[in-house]
Structure 1
Amino acid sequence: MKKNDWILILFVAAVAGIFLVALLLRPEQAVRRVEISVDGELYGRYDLKEDQEISINETNKVEISGGTVRMTWAKCPDQICVHHKEISRDGESIICLPNKIVVSIIVGDAKTEDESPDAVSN
């Protein structure tokens, strides 16, 4: 390789490193919540920062702890949802098919859902 090739590689690596550091050090503006649905209906929304245990219709238990969510107990034969890894990022879900329960992480702005308008009208 020529000298200019090495300069180009170092330049691209430096720019990528700068973007990576900026991304990792960026303060988190969005509010992360846990959304639980049972049979397609919203069961509840919970703050991911508040440690708590939620019982869902005496069939499942969900634990929010340290910014992560996991299913700790389920009244179903396969226990796939209990063995699922903890979730903490936007779009991740834990699903219990026999009990029709979906636990998802959602990210929104600092305003609560109640403060934002439902529709735009003229």
Structure 2
Amino acid sequence: MKRSDLILAGAVLAVAAVILAYQFFRQDSGEHLVEISVDGEHFGTYDLTDEQTIEIDDTNRVVIEDGAARMEWADCPDQICVNHRAVSKNGESIICLPNQVVITIVSPEESGLDAVAQ
């Protein structure tokens, strides 16, 4: 490789590192909602700041507390969703495949543009 190739590769890596650091450290608006769907159907939308327990069709129990949502109980055999950590950031999710329950954190001001388009 020539010296100019190394400089170009270093510049590309530096720009990529800056973009990743910005995405990782940027401040959230703090306002998030919990969207729950069952079998692909919308079950409900809940405010992440309201502490509550949500029963889902006698198969799952979701708890919202301390600004995070977690699956407290599920009747599925593997319990992966129950052992998953609580979610609180935009885009994070917990999925219970046997019961087809999806918990997703969303921001109320989502624009429909993905990170690349923004």
The answer, yes or no, to whether TM exceeds 0.5 is yes
Alignment pair present for 1:96 and 2:96? yes
Amino acid at match of 1:71: M
Q: Residue 30 of structure 1 contacts residue 108 of structure 1 at CA under 8 Å; is this kept in 2?
A: no
Q: Residue 53 of structure 1 contacts residue 62 of structure 1 at CA under 8 Å; is this kept in 2?
A: yes
C-alpha spacing 1:30/1:66, structure 2 compared with 1 (3 Å): closer
RMSD of aligned alpha carbons: 2.2
Q: CA deviation at 1:30?
A: 5.9
Q: What's the counterpart of residue 44 of structure 1?
A: 44
Across the two proteins, how many residue pairs are aligned to each other? 89
Distance in 2 (alpha carbons) for counterparts of 1:81 and 1:61: 11
Amino acid at match of 1:37: S
Report the TM-score, using the length of structure 1 for normalisation.
0.66
Structure 2, unmatched stretches of 5+, are: 1-17, 110-118
2:103 counterpart SS class: strand
1:85 counterpart SS class: coil
Q: What's the counterpart of residue 4 of structure 2?
A: none
Distance in 2 (alpha carbons) for counterparts of 1:96 and 1:30: 26
Structure 1, unmatched stretches of 5+, are: 1-15, 110-122
Q: What's the counterpart of residue 67 of structure 1?
A: 67
Distance in 1 (alpha carbons) for counterparts of 2:30 and 2:67: 14
Distance in 1 (alpha carbons) for counterparts of 2:58 and 2:42: 16
Q: Percent identity?
A: 51
1:91 counterpart SS class: coil
Q: What's the counterpart of residue 107 of structure 1?
A: 107
1:108 counterpart SS class: coil
After TM superposition, the runs of 4+ consecutive aligned structure 1 residues lying more than 2 A away are 28-31
1:102 counterpart SS class: strand
